[in-house]
Amino acid sequence: MILIDSALERREREGKPIRVALVGAGFMGRGVALQMFQAVKKGMRLVAIANRHLDGAVRAYAEAGVSDPRTVGTAGELADNIRKGRFSVTEDASLLCRAEGVDVIFEVTGAVEFGAGVVLEAIENGKHVVQMNAELDGTVGPILKTYADKAGVVYSFSDGDQPGVQMNLYRFVKGIGVTPVLCGSIKGLHDPYRNPTTQEGFAKKWGQKAYMVASFADGTKISFEQAIVANGTGMRVARRGMLGPTVPTPGMSLKDALALYPEELLKEPGIVDYVVGAEPAPGVYVVGTHDDPRQKHYLHLYKLGEGPFYLFYTPYHLCHFEAPNTLARAAIFHDAALTPQGPPRVDVVTTAKIDLKAGQKIDGMGWYMTYGQAENADVTFRERLLPMGVAEDCVLQRDVKKDQVLTYDDVTLPDGRLCDRLRSEQNKLFFGT
């Protein structure tokens, strides 16, 4: 990104590289490590990796070309390694949060309860936090942002993943004087009943976990992604589950696909949504309006059409390739790529993927029992709908029919979870109870 490369070069000259610690060494975490060693030659160091299994952290470094990371058991050992220019691995993520010499924690686990603990501890220890965990951000992001503001640190979602790319595009569109009314993402498939069994082949092909791939296909992932875009922009959803039109003709252009949206919905504060099957894919888009007839004349001249809606899009999202940009934005410029702006606007609510029975324990996102749908946060609060981010391990108190949205009254929550405490704080702060 323009400015970031020069800023990193300056940090290198000054001998003050940004010291990054990575939590999570799965498919995406390994990509981040590889990118940081291959492409970020100046001004930034990946000083430590924490993973629940140590061999995963070692593997991430090895694939990035580092063969001798040191295993550490205390924050003091980690700080000493950082001072000496050594790379460290550990199974204890809290060491990264507490150690001196770490500037930014990058959390990429996708786990809500575990991720909440890591992010909160990092914030409490004065470290910037960048995360690629839409599930966490879409569940308790607004309250975590409140903690970060009090601590004077940045709390941000990452560039590269669809929400971050949308927010970059949103800021660009807004910055040229066009009013954004729709932020969207292009999907190739949406089937709420997909599960790890149906997605096993695709997952093996790309070296990913089947349940994670299933969460993409069943709509849970995009619901979280669009929820956090809504929370960062003040937008809402047009209806529960979003509109999500599927193009009638394979390969239909995104510009033509916009006709599938009812025009009356495209007004301030705008909506978040997605479209299935449009081209170019994958990618993200922002639709905006302009009131000045002179500027509309110029936009027409510049091939954006006669209006009233103007399409801006980015025909790719490069996830881990762009992630270091966010780390630099946080550490150098105190700028978040995407972060909640006040109260939650959109939640993701738990929906039965199959008929559920009393006494069952709910499995995780992308598994066999539930899928997530985006819903406006005021509705979620008023109707006591069960957030998808807290559903795992809840025990059903009654039968729930397929496609029914669960409520807090349908389940018993596990004892002592941080995510439930944070969710309660968030409701009290923004909804008054």
Tell me the C-alpha to C-alpha distance, in Å, between residue 112 and each of 117, 137, 140. 9, 8, 9
List b or e across 193-225, with b for residues whose CB sees 16 or more CB atoms inside 10 angstroms. ebbbeebeebbeeeebebbbbbbbbbbbbbbbb
Q: What are phi and psi of 53, to 5 degrees?
A: -115, 125
The pLDDT confidence band at residue 89, using thresholds 50, 70 and 90, is: very high
Which residue type is seen at 340? P
Task: Determine the Cα–Cα distance for residues 389 and 142; give it in Å rounded to an integer.
Answer: 14
Task: Determine the Cα–Cα distance for residues 186 and 244; give it in Å rounded to an integer.
Answer: 9
Which element (helix H / strand E) includes 146? Answer: helix 134-151
The chain-wide mean pLDDT, for the chain, equals 95
* pLDDT given for residue 282 in this prediction: 86
Q: Is the pLDDT of residue 50 over 70?
A: yes
Query: How much is the average pLDDT of 85-102?
Result: 97
Q: Is the pLDDT of residue 23 over 90?
A: yes
Q: Is the pLDDT of residue 1 over 70?
A: no
* pLDDT given for residue 346 in this prediction: 98
Q: Is the pLDDT of residue 269 over 90?
A: no
147-161, 265-279, 316-330, 410-424, range with the lowest pLDDT: 265-279
* pLDDT given for residue 206 in this prediction: 85
* pLDDT given for residue 162 in this prediction: 95
* pLDDT given for residue 207 in this prediction: 86
The pLDDT confidence band at residue 212, using thresholds 50, 70 and 90, is: confident
Query: How much is the average pLDDT of 109-124?
Result: 97
Contact call for residues 160 and 108 (beta carbons, < 8 A): no
The pLDDT confidence band at residue 208, using thresholds 50, 70 and 90, is: confident
pLDDT 10s digits, 309-343:
999 999 988 999 999 999 999 999 999 999 999 99
- Provide CB contacts within 8 A for 336, sequence distance 6+: 154, 155, 156, 157, 326, 329, 330
Q: What is the DSSP letter of 357?
A: -
Contact call for residues 109 and 115 (beta carbons, < 8 A): yes
The whole-model pTM stands at 0.95
Query: How much is the average pLDDT of 2-22?
Result: 94
* pLDDT given for residue 286 in this prediction: 97
Contact call for residues 324 and 36 (beta carbons, < 8 A): yes
The CATH number, out of the four listed (3.40.50.720, 3.30.470.10, 3.40.50.300, 2.60.40.10), of the domain defined by the range 4-161+321-333: 3.40.50.720
182-186, 194-198, 261-265, 281-285, range with the lowest pLDDT: 261-265
Task: Determine the Cα–Cα distance for residues 65 and 88; give it in Å rounded to an integer.
Answer: 14
* pLDDT given for residue 5 in this prediction: 92
Sequence ranges of the domains in the chain: 4-161+321-333, 163-316+343-433
Query: How much is the average pLDDT of 166-183?
Result: 97
Q: Is the pLDDT of residue 379 over 80?
A: yes
Q: Is the pLDDT of residue 203 over 90?
A: no
Contact call for residues 242 and 388 (beta carbons, < 8 A): no
